[in-house]
Amino acid sequence: MYVVKDAQNTVNCSPNPDSRERDITYEVVDTTDTRMQVPFLLRENVPTNIVNSCNSQIVQVGATCTSNTSYEPGALGEFTDFLIPSCPASPTDSPCGFQFANQQWQWCPGVGQPTSIGTIGADNVQNTVISVDGNITGFTVGTTFPK
């Protein structure tokens, strides 16, 4: 799994402090290091009960097997992970957000258990800064992650 794009944006939360958004697009390759040429099923292997301190809601994660085209319509071999902490509920709620101790993406075969296609590491998704495996500035194109 390779990084194709890593973009960060500022979300206006006026009158509360602004928030960050980070969209990381990954390319998934097969065992011969060739881009997947057909839609495939994947899931995010993270806890499903994490509460976002910005809005006190459960963080929506991709814990069930879903087609990559749901994440990146029309793209073969790619999907985008949208890391959005939400706007702080009040000016005193900043920084706020959520953390994953170890984010992992898995391929879901037609039969059998999901298998890792990329272990990202720790995510700290805050309205002030988003850290993915310790990186806050953005991954360079081609960055790979271990399975």
Query: What residue segments make up the domains of the chain, in order of their start?
Result: 2-132
Cα distances (angstroms) measured from residue 49 to each of 28, 57, 58, 133: 27, 10, 6, 21
Which two structure tokens, joined as six digits, stand for 22? 């980070």
pLDDT truncated to tens, each residue of the chain (147 aa)? 999 999 999 999 999 999 999 999 999 988 788 888 888 899 999 999 999 999 999 999 988 999 988 877 777 889 999 999 999 999 999 999 999 999 999 999 989 999 999 999 999 999 999 999 999 999 999 999 988
What's the predicted TM-score (pTM) here? 0.93
Q: How far is it, in rounded angstroms, from Cα 22 to Cα 54?
A: 16
